[in-house]
Chains A and B, each alone.
Chain A
Amino acid sequence: MKEFVIDYRRQWEIQSMIIPGIIFMIIFCYIPIYGLTIAFKNYTVIDTLSSAPWVGLENFRIIMSDKYFWDAVVNTLGISFLKLGIGFVIPIILAIMIYELNSGRFKKFVQTISYLPHFLSWIVLGGMLITWFSTTGLFNQLLLSLGVISQPQNILLDAGKYWWIAVLSDIWKEAGWGTILYLAIMSKIDPTYYEAAKIDGASRLRQIWNITLPNMKSIISLNLILTVSGLLGSNLDQTLVLMNSQNRDKAEVINSYVYRMGMSQGDFSYATAVGLGVSIVSVILLVTANKITSKLNDNQSVL
């Protein structure tokens, strides 16, 4: 103990740099984690965290029979799996295509353009989407002039198409940005592999299949794990700006439901219970994805 105090006293200067960070984490990260206990309480506006009465799993029981919650679950899973299925592959293909470009200038141009949408906020992009899809907007104009449709129609008001709007707009925004990491990894592949393959007469597609992709296996797995673990928790900004009274049934996701129940209706305990349930499922997803990908990677855990 004495040694402990002496060490701290000798290191006071360096400790004085770290301690504020630790205090910050205790206040802004650990107190909210402790605050999760209100999921097991009946918290009302007049209560404090400790005065609210415990109700056990009551909130979770109500969730199970809540139709709106399950609608939100279906939408979240539907949108997220579409994003995963399409949105995960496209950056890989795009990165390979950019990597295979010979012209340096065009390469740089494509990269610059494709990163740009990532820097738009969802609010800005939401505003743009509303303009593009309006009856006089770009989207209808294109389809009209191509003769695909005969009457302009605002597809943002069409609930049946909402999932695709959510998925495709997300891909449009993030696909280019997603290539950065892959391109960084590819730039480290030893060029002699390709030269050897060329001498053996391997086609370009063969080279991609047998050299480029295997070299990216571990980073692809890592990315997959991170994407899967975040499956249930995304989409809040996007949903808040694109949801309207017409497409609500198909647009509500778990996060926006938590927002509505907690912030608009003041049902803090219930909303926290929903959030907690989602976090637990996310951790399970993370662990499962890690197990599966480590099997694929010759039993080496990526995390």
Chain B
Amino acid sequence: MNGKVAKEDLDSRIFDTLNIILLVICTVIIVVPLWNVIISSFSSGKALAEGGFIFWSPEFSLENYRAVFNDSSIWQAFFISVSKTTIGVVTHVFFCAMVGYGLSKKYIRGRKLYVAMGVITMFFSGGMIPTYLLIKSLGLLNSFWVYIIPALFSFYDVVILMNFFRNVPDSLEESAKIDGAGDWHIFLKIFIPLSMPAMATIALFNGVGQWNDFMTTKLYITDQSLYPLQMMLYEIIVQSQTQSMQNIGGSAVIETTTKGVQLATIVITTLPIVLIYPVLQRYFISGMMLGAVKE
């Protein structure tokens, strides 16, 4: 009997050790490339041209960042990114919460039809070209509002909020009604403050989506003054790709300068996400549960 337990213990310990080793390898595979990008972005053009380093750059320099920040278009792009993200998130969350609150009331007229219409949009869409033609006919091409208006609504988010509102006890609403409060008043003064966790989750997901989105710009914007960071980075990447392809064996100096600029722009573009990541992480796990596990 004792021998058997000891053997199991040994098996279990081997399992644990292997498990930890494999997971350490996994984290190394994620961390090392990211670290390499950061370290490269702080490298001089000469170090980048020679390459040959993984963990530590032979020659540190801020020249890449200086080059990026001296370019006024990066400030413009940063401003566009920040404003489209903040305005987009606030309006999106408010709009979805408003509709979700309305639909969370079982007694309303037409509820079945409304929900059916919403569910259909989750599975069918017109696709790229019909949507483009719509945006064009609405006059939203080359307008800042193309970042905000088409992104106002998502039925997924409405469903999540609807489920959340339904869990708020009815008695709160009833007593407010007795005091003479209307639906809008109850929604704004009672339900919104109570639903902060759910709304924060949606806000954070939506915010990351807005910050990372570049297809909207690629499809609907040609005016460079409306480019967000992602689109600027995309342009730099495409530019350096064609350059390095034309210059195979040619002038290495040009290639490394754009490479340095590219790396610095990558870091700047990602920095805000990494900064809010700790806040984000606290919320998203409970948020995922909210949307996915309904029991």
Contact = CB atoms under 8 A, between A and B. Distances in A.
Contacts of B62: none
B126 A33 contact: yes
Interface stretch (B18-26, B72-80, B195-203): B18-26
Interface residues of A, number: 95
B237 A241 contact: yes
B278 to A, nearest CB: 9
Contacts of A115: 281
B54 A263 contact: no
Interface in B202-256: 208, 211-215, 218-219, 230, 233-234, 236-237, 240-241, 244-245
B59 interface: no
Given A134-B51, A203-B8, A240-B234, 18 more contacts: A11-B109, A25-B155, A97-B19, A114-B30, A119-B273, A119-B274, A119-B280, A121-B212, A121-B269, A123-B214, A123-B237, A127-B237, A131-B37, A131-B262, A136-B50, A140-B51, A141-B54, A172-B30
Contacts of A109: 27
B183 interface: yes
Q: Which 4 A-B pairs have the closest CB atoms?
A: A136-B51, A32-B126, A35-B130, A21-B99
Contacts of B230: 121, 123-124
A137 B51 contact: yes
B52 to A, nearest CB: 6
A36 B127 contact: yes
Interface string A280-298: 0001001000000000000
B114 A18 contact: yes
B230 to A, nearest CB: 5
Interface of A: 4, 7-8, 11, 13-18, 20-22, 24-25, 27-36, 38, 49, 94, 97-98, 100-102, 106, 109-110, 112-117, 119-124, 126-128, 130-132, 134-138, 140-142, 157, 172, 176, 180-181, 184-185, 188, 198, 201, 203-205, 236-237, 240-241, 244-246, 255, 258-259, 262-263, 268, 271-272, 275-276, 279, 283, 286
Nearest to A245: B245
Interface in B116-138: 117-118, 120-121, 123-134
A114 B26 contact: yes
Interface range, B side:
35 or more
A184 B22 CA distance: 22
A120 B234 contact: no
B277 A130 contact: no
Contact of B129 (A137, A268, A286): A268
B128 A124 contact: no
Interface in B245-295: 245, 259, 262-263, 265-266, 269-270, 273-274, 277, 280-281, 284-285, 288-289, 292-293
A14 B133 CA distance: 33
Contacts of A203: 8, 11-12, 15
A255 B22 CA distance: 36
Contacts, number: 262
26 contacts: A4-B109, A13-B183, A14-B105, A17-B99, A17-B184, A21-B99, A21-B118, A28-B131, A29-B120, A29-B121, A32-B134, A33-B125, A98-B23, A102-B16, A112-B281, A119-B280, A121-B269, A123-B214, A123-B230, A137-B51, A141-B52, A180-B285, A188-B293, A237-B215, A268-B133, A272-B130
Nearest to A185: B293
Contacts of A22: 114, 117
Nearest to B18: A97
Contacts of B103: 18
Nearest to B285: A180
Given A11-B109, A17-B99, A181 B288 contact: yes
A97 B208 contact: no
B178 interface: no
A28 B259 CA distance: 40
A204 B181 CA distance: 59
A208 to B, nearest CB: 10
B203 to A, nearest CB: 15
